[in-house]
Amino acid sequence: MSDKGYVHPDMLVSTAWVAENKDADNVRVVESNEDVLLYSTGHIPGAVHIDWVRDLNDAIRRDYLNAEEFTALMGKNGISPDTTVVFYGDKNNWWACYALWVFHLFGHTNCKIMDGGRKKWTAEGREMSRDVPEYAAADYPAVERSDAEIRAFRDEVLAHIKDGLPLVDVRSPQEFSGELLHMPGSPQEGALRGGHIKGAANVPWSRAVAEDGTFKTADDLRAIYEGEKGLSPDKDVVAYCRIGERSAHTWFVLTYLLGYENVRNYDGSWTEWGNLVGVPIENPSRQ
């Protein structure tokens, strides 16, 4: 990896590193996409598929999988506690960062992102495969999910607002203004009210990514988050979007590329906040 000034550059690996190390016994490459059918059209040879809907979310409650389900997911994909997991995917690693964030909830922090994702891998003409790999089942102990450090809930966000602490809304400007309830081009559903959480600053998640799909340099990122929006590494920051996936990407940028020590992802995000009764909302489109 070239030196881009990141605080934790070891959280990223290059496409060349993946090509050289993807078959190592202690490495498991994981593809996670918005388009859950994309994996079947071709993927990095040896990579397993983790579907954000089927594999990471509880089938009944608005929550994530439990300890037993996470253990089963790891086991069937041949991932043990000491396995280095390298995530990549479509949409500039948006969903790869989301999957990594969920892994961190279970304490599996030996995770990395392949900088550039599918976009860079395919642009370089690297090998793709449709073969679905099979790995020997791994032993993975049941570990209870820990939400305290990197996940924010509704009441914590209310307290955050009361204390005047920074919030980052990583949705599109149209969602932030209240003009749209979902990303442009998507069905406008999921919330009864539009707008943003009172006091939030808008930094669309994709601004952190360069044209080739890799992350921008630390200097460029600081110019956006700190120069434009006034964030600083010493503050307690909460990021949110619509369901917490885009904000997981920003959580990764702030935490590992810029070294912020207290960043939480509010995964309830706008589908929860926009349906709550009596919470503080700002809606410029109706002013």
- Give me the catalytic one of 44, 180, 237, 241: 241
Residue 219, classed as helix, strand or coil, is: helix
d(CA 222, CA 229): 10
Output the pLDDT for position 2. 62
Q: What is the overall mean pLDDT for the chain?
A: 95
pLDDT tens-digit series, residues 5-26: 999 999 999 999 999 999 999 9
Q: Which CATH code fits 9-123?
A: 3.40.250.10
- Each domain of the chain, given as residue ranges in start order, spans 9-123, 154-286
State if pTM tops 0.85. Answer: yes
Confidence of residue 287 (pLDDT cuts 50, 70, 90): low
Active site residue 241: yes
d(CA 261, CA 82): 24
Output the pLDDT for position 65. 96
Identical fold for domains 9-123 and 154-286, yes or no, is yes
On the question of pLDDT at 169 being above 70, the answer is yes
pLDDT tens-digit series, residues 64-97: 999 999 999 999 999 999 999 999 999 999 999 9
Buried b (16+ CB within 10 A) or exposed e, 132-150: eeeeeebebeeeebeeeeb
Instruction: Give the number of other CB atoms < 10 A from CB of residue 192.
Output: 9
Which residue matches tokens 């340099």? 217
Output the pLDDT for position 284. 84
Output the pLDDT for position 239. 98
CATH 3.30.450.40 assigned to 154-286: no
